Amino acid sequence: MSPLRIPLVRIAHARSGDKADWVDFGLFAWNEAGYQLIEREVTAKRVQAHFAPWLAGEVEAWPLPNILAIKLVLKGALQGGGARNLRLDNLGKAMAGALLRLEIEVTQSELDQALNAPRVGWWPE
Amino acid sequence: MPMKSVRIGAGLGFYGDNWEPVVASIERGAVNFIASDHLAELTLAILQKDRQRDPTLGYARDVVPMLLRLWPLMRERGVRFVCNAGGLNPQGAAQAVLAAFSAKGWRARVAVVSGDDVLPQLLDAAAPPHHFAHLFSGEPAVNVRERLVFANAYLGAAPIVAALDAGAEIVITGRVADAALFLGPIAHSLGWSLDNREPADLDRLAQGLTLGHLLECSGQGSGGNFGCQGAWQTIPDLAHIGYPIAEVHADGTAWITKAPNTGGRVNFDTVRQQLLYEVHNPHAYQSPDVVLDMGDIALHDEGHDRVRLTGARGLPPSDQLKVVAGYRDGFKAEVTWGFSWPDAWDKAQAAQATIRRLLAEKRVPHDELFVEYPGLNSAHGALAPLPDAATLNEMNEIWTRMVLRTPVKAAADGFGRLFPWLALSGPAYTCGFNGLHNTSELLGIWPTLVPRAAVEAGVRVEILGDAA
């Protein structure tokens, strides 16, 4: 079965923050099945390639299976820091959205599992 | 007598945040303390400009109206208040609060924590050249020394504990680690030592630090700014969001929750987004009081806006404190304007080319001319690919934002004046020009380290005012 390419936003959520010239992301799968996919697919190398048009510095990644998350740090991502960055998004607050555009390769059954498994959090209707 | 458990409510998450949600935490959240973080990394730069204008300023001025609103509610219930609104002038903040209280006939015992200012140490030309190197790049501090405008060390929770032990009802600090604003009242209330190095003691401190980290950004810990597709819409009533509340017991057992009948959501997802926010290595989250390893943290979602926290691991803190300094780094001038259909994209490109030509012909000194298109790519830059020119030319409007970066203030001041003539003599159907006078100074951020002992010797806790 040929793999599908899906953007991370289908199976994950994310927040970005800034410290000096570094942007950091928390990337979170909604459930264990989704976590297996992001842990396999979202490597520092892939994230660096995704942000390459934008970013000179290196990327570090730490998997955190205890909270179904991956911690990512992008170095040199803010033109030297928020108070000298000329972009409208000078603090990189919207950059987690750009991370969720990253496309990963999954099989249909892997995707079905990630989409059909319930969210871990309490989300009443 | 130490308490068996304590509840701390989040105050502000930045200078300019909304304090109205704190009312619900005080009235219905059974909190013992409110702890309020007014200082983002760059806030001291704003406060420095205030202090240059008026030496009695240099603190986060919102603390005064905030306390005028909240103090009667807090005093009635015995709730105490800890904040870092002192910024560069904690004494000035305390005096301003006491003056405003005095005008109302109120009294309060206010503690001032100072000693975080390390600018004199960084300016000391006799310091060895390797001191205060850039924490990330290793660049020597001498490269920016002449341009430094502030430098403050992140203090820990100890002076806050000392202030509360001395009976302070309100504690006003300058720069402290954000989470220390919360760890201070927790350690004070539960009788936790900040100096014990036994693993169990460090783990308890790590639990407290984690709670502080989860609360230091106000609504971001209870469903605000929740980044995802498709679930954020179901988070109820953000207009009346309840800021997060931490409940912690003497053995370190801990929960995150919020006041009943408030908006927002506290669950596994909203709490873990905040847990990793502005964290680098999650196995070594630094603070002056304890180093946190998040690798074994578990967040047990009990439903109904209540999440239990377990498994924070603590390691001994370093003998260095983190410093954030700011240095002057040139100027920017910023212009925005639009063109309408037809051919809006081509017109924007033609106007931009004209401006570039003028900059070259007039030999305007600059390092960079930064261009982005609000509505098309200003949030995601190169990761938001532009449609082709034909498609762009069919769009209703194209907005261009041009920013000049220059070391020369006069060049920045003159940038906006390159544009107005285009209204009559450039491409047609332009509107919304903004930025004739729009210069601002840029600041570089210089993170570095300072030996802890050198700073802590100068930390002061001073009590002003009388108890009510």
Do A71 and B330 count as a contact with CB atoms less than 8 A apart?
Answer: no
Residue type at position B121? Q
The pLDDT of residue B465 is 81
Rounded to the nearest 10°, the torsion over CA B244, B175, B108, B240 is: -20
Sign for the pseudo-dihedral over CA of B8, B10, B14, B17: negative
**Looking at the predicted structure, is the pLDDT value of residue B39 above 80?**
yes
What is the percent of chain A where pLDDT is above 90?
85
Residue closest to B74 by CA, chosen among B38, B31, B104, B105 = B31
Do A15 and B273 count as a contact with CB atoms less than 8 A apart?
Answer: yes
Structure tokens at B220: 């971001």
Residue matched to tokens 């169990």? B200
The helix or strand, by DSSP H or E, that contains position A7, with its residue range, turns out to be strand A4-7
Which residues on B lie below 8 Å from A71 (Cβ)? 276, 279-282
Do B443 and A83 count as a contact with CB atoms less than 8 A apart?
Answer: yes
For the segment B187-211, the average pLDDT, to the nearest whole number, is 97
Q: Which of B329, B372, B383 sits opposite A88 (nearest CB)?
A: B372
The pLDDT of residue A1 is 63
Largest separation between any pair of C-alpha atoms in chain B: 78
Q: Hey, is the C-beta of B437 within 8 angstroms of any chain A C-beta?
A: no
**Best mutation target, A23, A123, A125, to test chain B (most B CBs within 10 A):** A123
Do A13 and B231 count as a contact with CB atoms less than 8 A apart?
Answer: yes
Question: Which chain A residue lies closest to B405 (C-alpha atoms)?
Answer: A86
Do A28 and B295 count as a contact with CB atoms less than 8 A apart?
Answer: no
Q: Is the ipTM of this complex over 0.85?
A: yes
For the segment B67-84, the average pLDDT, to the nearest whole number, is 98
Residue range B220-249, pLDDT digits in tens: 999 999 999 999 999 999 999 999 999 999
Residue range B333-371, pLDDT digits in tens: 999 999 999 999 999 999 999 999 999 999 999 999 999
**Looking at the predicted structure, is the pLDDT value of residue B394 above 90?**
yes
Which residues on B lie below 8 Å from A54 (Cβ)? 381-383
Do B280 and A19 count as a contact with CB atoms less than 8 A apart?
Answer: yes
What is the percent of chain B where pLDDT is above 70?
100
Residue closest to B182 by CA, chosen among B292, B44, B36, B43 = B36
Do B277 and A66 count as a contact with CB atoms less than 8 A apart?
Answer: no
The pLDDT of residue A54 is 83
Distance from CA of B452 to the nearest CA of A (A): 21
Which residues on A lie below 8 Å from B330 (Cβ)? 84
Q: Hey, is the C-beta of B295 within 8 angstroms of any chain A C-beta?
A: yes
Which residues on A lie below 8 Å from B225 (Cβ)? 15
Domain annotation for chain B: domains and CATH numbers: 5-116+154-317 (no CATH), 326-443 (3.30.70)
The pLDDT of residue B126 is 84
Residue matched to tokens 């405003």? B100
Do B370 and A69 count as a contact with CB atoms less than 8 A apart?
Answer: no
Question: Which chain A residue lies closest to B370 (C-alpha atoms)?
Answer: A86
**DSSP states of B283-346:** T-B--SS-EEE-TT-EEEE-SSS-EEEE--EEEPPPSEEEEEEEEEEEEEEEEEEEEESSSHHH
Residue range A3-54, pLDDT digits in tens: 999 999 999 999 999 988 999 999 999 999 999 999 999 999 999 999 998 8
Residue range B298-341, pLDDT digits in tens: 999 999 999 999 999 999 999 999 999 999 999 999 999 999 99
- Band of pLDDT at residue B468, cut at 50, 70 and 90: low
The pLDDT of residue B340 is 97
- Band of pLDDT at residue B98, cut at 50, 70 and 90: very high
The pLDDT of residue B129 is 77
**Looking at the predicted structure, is the pLDDT value of residue B467 above 80?**
no
Do B270 and A121 count as a contact with CB atoms less than 8 A apart?
Answer: yes
The pLDDT of residue B116 is 97
- Conformational region of residue A66, where left means phi above 0, alpha means psi within -120 to 50, and beta covers everything else: alpha
Using the CB atoms, write b or e for B45-58: b if 16+ within 10 Å: bbbbebbeeeeebb
CA B199 from centre of chain: 31
